């Protein structure tokens, strides 16, 4: 269902990453991060139809997947800033956030979680518990052996797993047309997996398809693959200035920003400008407050640095 709730979720994810960008620029975050700004509507839409028992596996570009699955923004920011109250004691960082309580697991190895997700889906099927697994991947990930093997096994074992391919046309700086032979669709269909394409950020179609597919998967376990054509507004990661994309291409996609489209629709259907502005202000203020609180926490102390390391 598209409306104010989904708008708020997308705005919240975007505001969180915008804040993170600011923290990076101040030198408060180590390592790198991959922003999902422009793509937030995908997890925000899919997660509407998930329960806590459903599992989501995520990628290097996972902050939006995590927040949409219900993870708490304070503990997420703490993890990314390397603080010990973070979801993984500040040792996973941006790309390796997991929360057992939320059945959420991310990993920065491209396609690395897909076989693991199959295992989780197999467990659900074995227990007949109607829970499903959603596993996110990118267009570039379709060239990983892991990904292709996982698609094969999901089909052979008829697993209740939804593959969501966020096709933002690029794997780092390489365009999908220069990297993926044939088509993603033909590959998926070659494995006998049902497939649907969502073109050009068509958030309404994604909503319809996600609802239908997830309902059906709970009753009759079988894999499904949704390819969503979308676009990331920022570079691949923090040190990428997007020099390989044309201004025309960016303009095309920025005009199709789901947040802008939804805001326009909300205003046209009677939500007042004041309500939206007041929500945005309080959302940004809350994230500012949390970021300040988390930034002020002490760094992990040296004695604890080797905790959770299994081979010392």
Ligand X SMILES: Cc1ncc(C[n+]2csc(CCOP(=O)(O)OP(=O)(O)O)c2C)c(N)n1
Interface with Mg ion (CB under 5 A): 138-140, 168, 171
* Distance between CA atoms of residues 228 and 256, nearest Å: 13
* Distance between CA atoms of residues 188 and 303, nearest Å: 48
306: tokens are 């080797």
Residue-by-residue DSSP string for 179-223: H-SS-HHHHHHHTT-EEEEE-TT-HHHHHHHHHHHHHHHHHS---
109 binds ligand X (CB under 6 A): yes
227: tokens are 């390819």
Contacts 24+ apart (CB under 8 A), 175-179: 175/244, 176/139, 176/140, 179/139, 179/140, 179/143
167: tokens are 């096709």
User: Which residue's CB is nearer to ligand X, number 16 or number 141?
Assistant: 141
Q: Residue length, the chain?
A: 312
Which of ligand X, Mg ion, none lies near 47, with the C-beta cut-off 5 to 8 A by kind? none
178: tokens are 């220069």
22: tokens are 């600011």
Closest distance between ligand X and the C-beta of residue 79, in Å? 18
Closest distance between ligand X and the C-beta of residue 204, in Å? 23
Closest distance between ligand X and the C-beta of residue 225, in Å? 14
52: tokens are 């806590």
Which of ligand X, Mg ion, none lies near 40, with the C-beta cut-off 5 to 8 A by kind? none
User: Which residue's CB is nearer to Mg ion, number 138 or number 223?
Assistant: 138
Closest distance between ligand X and the C-beta of residue 124, in Å? 25
Residues 169-228 that bind ligand X (CB under 6 A): 170-172
Closest distance between ligand X and the C-beta of residue 92, in Å? 14
Q: Binding mask 121-160 vs ligand X (x if CB under 6 A, - otherwise)?
A: -----------------xxxx-------------------
Closest distance between ligand X and the C-beta of residue 85, in Å? 27
Which of ligand X, Mg ion, none lies near 60, with the C-beta cut-off 5 to 8 A by kind? ligand X
Q: Which of 58, 103, 168, 229 binds ligand X (CB under 6 A)?
A: 168
Which of Mg ion, ligand X, none lies near 172, with the C-beta cut-off 5 to 8 A by kind? ligand X
Residues 6 or more apart whose Cβ sits within 8 Å of residue 257: 38, 201, 233
Choose among 142, 145, 141: nearest CA to 185.
142
Binding site for ligand X (CB under 6 A): 60-61, 108-110, 138-141, 166, 168, 170-172, 236
């Amino acid at each position: 269902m598209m409306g104010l709730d989904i708008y708020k979720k997308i705005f919240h994810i975007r505001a969180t990453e915008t804040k993170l960008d600011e923290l990076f620029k101040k030198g408060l975050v180590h390592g790198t991060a991959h922003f999902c700004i422009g793509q937030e509507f995908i997890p925000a839409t899919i997660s509407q139809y998930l329960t806590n028992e459903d599992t989501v596996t995520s990628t290097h570009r996972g902050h939006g997947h995590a927040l949409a699955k219900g993870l708490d923004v304070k503990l997420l920011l703490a993890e990314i800033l390397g603080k010990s109250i973070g979801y993984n004691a500040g040792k996973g960082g941006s790309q390796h956030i997991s929360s057992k309580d939320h059945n959420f697991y991310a990993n920065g190895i491209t396609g690395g979680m897909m076989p693991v997700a199959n295992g989780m889906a197999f467990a659900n099927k074995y227990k007949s518990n109607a829970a499903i697994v959603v596993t996110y991947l990118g267009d570039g990930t379709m060239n990983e052996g892991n990904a292709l093997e996982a698609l094969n096994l999901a089909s052979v074992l008829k697993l209740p797993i939804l593959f969501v391919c966020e096709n933002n046309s690029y794997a780092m700086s390489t365009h999908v047309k220069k990297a993926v032979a044939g088509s993603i669709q033909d590959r998926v269909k070659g494995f006998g997996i049902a497939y649907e394409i969502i073109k050009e950020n068509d958030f309404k179609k994604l909503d319809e398809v996600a609802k239908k597919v997830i309902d059906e998967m709970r009753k009759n376990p079988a894999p499904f693959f949704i390819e969503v054509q979308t676009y990331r507004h920022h570079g691949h990661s923090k040190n990428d200035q997007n020099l390989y994309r044309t201004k025309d291409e960016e303009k095309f996609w920025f005009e199709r920003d789901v947040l802008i489209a939804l805001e326009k629709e909300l205003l046209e259907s009677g939500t007042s400008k004041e309500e939206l502005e007041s929500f945005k202000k309080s959302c940004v203020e809350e994230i500012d407050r949390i970021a300040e609180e988390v930034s002020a926490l002490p760094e992990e102390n040296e004695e604890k640095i080797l905790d959770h390391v299994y081979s010392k």
